[in-house]
Amino acid sequence: MTTRWGLPLLVVIVGMFMSVLDTSIVNVAIPTMQGQFSASPDNIQWIATAYTLCLGVVVPTSAWLGERLGLRRTYLLALVLFSVFSALCGTATDLNTMIVYRVLQAIPGGVIPVTCLTILYRMVPPSKLGAAMGLYGLGIVFAPGVGPTLGGYLVEYVDWRLIFYINVPIGILGAIAAMIVLPKFPATPGRPFDVPGFVCIAAACFALLLAVSEGQQWGWTSYPVLMLVAGGFNLLALFVVIELQVKHPLLTLRTFRYWPYVNSLLLMAIVYTGLFASLYYVPLFLQNVQGITPWNTGLTVMPQALVMAVLTPFAGRLFDKFGARYLVMAGMTIDGIGTLMMAQINTEMSRTAILLRLMVSAAGLALCFMPIMTGGMSSLPPQITSAGSAMTTLVQRVTAAIGLAAVTAFTSIQQAQLFADRSSLLQGSGPGVDPRITQLQGQGPGGLIPLFQELTGKVTTQSYSNAFLLVGICVLAAVPLAYFLPKKRPAGGSSGPVEM
């Protein structure tokens, strides 16, 4: 274990930041790419869907690659490939080419987070683990928040292709820095690759992520979605059976013997769903309902990212002193209250009011997210830390997609019901007709368009409000689970020597 871990940690944060940033920055450019590629709304979404699907497939192999090649070599290779494939994405001239390049980009993009987290646990002393995870958390919670701001500026004032090209110089400089300052970790190339286990977990992740990605379009009760969900869960069950039988499993399921770790996965899934619901619905509300430009939308959500950037390292230091339990309980309570405050959203709400509510939620999230992850990981024995890193990243990716899809399904049902309820009150004829409707009808076929737009905005806003209410209740309901996290600071450590 090295005592000089500060500079290597910064190098690791660079790679983590790049990987997570790419999950949110691209969304802002999708409407522009749709116009340039002449793609339909359904097809253009595959730019994001293909990336998410491939991430879920690649993550389980990351721990094996780290052992086979060595963590340092795996990180360097993933960083260089991520930069190369990002450059290829920037050169895409049609939709099919872009989707292929996004799949290639996701392969190193899925390896980077697992490798980074494992490196951190190998080189940081136990007494400084909370502070290190606080800094590392900037790449996880700050990058999704700053993505819409940076992406909005590049799309509106420069060129959407820069959202991919910007990864190239950062990746090259990060790789050079890693070669210079990152410690060497001994490789253990003797473990064979678990092909049956990989096929099962990869196919299961692909099926479940595809179902939740396309459920809104295909219908949640349609045969394709139901078959994908059933197949995904059956493959997961088969994966568990295989992993318990093979001598060298792809993912060590022994991590699930430790309740604090399992508990941390449950809590992480809940708060991560809340974070991505906020990052997804607030920009939609600002642009589609209030008509704000992408750049100004990014500026509105930027303070949320800044709050997390300031408080996340502070939460790491508090974790070193007090442990995870009460810090997570306090953070989740604040996060839940802030999310419930977002349930007050309406079409006339000012950007300042939205900004303040997002900052309250972000403060709670910053206080609880890293302690949740650190408290769970520190409860694992050092020899299975790598497997815990892979499982943690896999849960983050999958639950973010599935949780957001569940909230999206809820808002769609709400919108349909609210439209039906409110449109029934707008009678166009008969004794109870509103004189204003008669007046608007007299203006011709387009006379009712303003009324329809107003109704659409209010219905959409109300459905988002109900979504925030649901998420806030779920976060607060999960606060008691935080009591079962470790109370004391971690006593874990490195799983082996680190060569400087």
Show pLDDT as tens, one digit a residue, over the chain (500 residues): 445 777 888 888 888 888 777 777 787 777 788 888 888 766 777 887 778 778 777 887 887 888 888 888 899 999 999 999 999 999 998 889 999 999 899 899 888 888 888 888 788 887 777 778 777 776 676 777 677 778 878 887 888 899 899 889 988 888 898 888 888 877 776 678 888 988 998 888 888 878 877 777 788 788 998 999 999 999 999 988 998 888 888 877 878 888 888 999 999 889 888 887 887 788 778 877 888 877 787 788 888 888 888 888 888 888 878 888 899 999 999 999 999 999 999 888 988 999 999 999 999 998 988 888 888 888 888 777 777 777 887 777 777 777 877 787 788 788 878 877 766 555 555 555 556 655 555 555 555 566 667 778 888 899 899 999 999 999 999 999 999 887 765 544 444 444 33
Give me the pLDDT at residue 499, please: 39
Give me the pLDDT at residue 159, please: 87
Give me the pLDDT at residue 498, please: 40
d(CA 303, CA 310): 10
d(CA 477, CA 475): 5
The two tokens of residue 334 are: 């604040």
d(CA 202, CA 100): 18
Are 471 and 339 a contacting pair, CB within 8 Å?
Answer: yes
For 104, residues 6+ apart whose C-beta sits below 8 A from its C-beta are 85, 88
Residues 98, 102, 105: CA angle, nearest 5 degrees: 140
**Largest Cα span, the chain:** 86
Give me the pLDDT at residue 1, please: 42
Q: Please name which of 60, 57, 47 lies closest in space to residue 96, comparing C-alpha atoms.
A: 47
Q: What is the pTM of this model?
A: 0.76
Burial class (CB in 10 A: 0-12, 13-18, 19+), 270: buried
Are 1 and 497 a contacting pair, CB within 8 Å?
Answer: yes
Give me the pLDDT at residue 495, please: 44
d(CA 441, CA 449): 10
d(CA 390, CA 254): 13
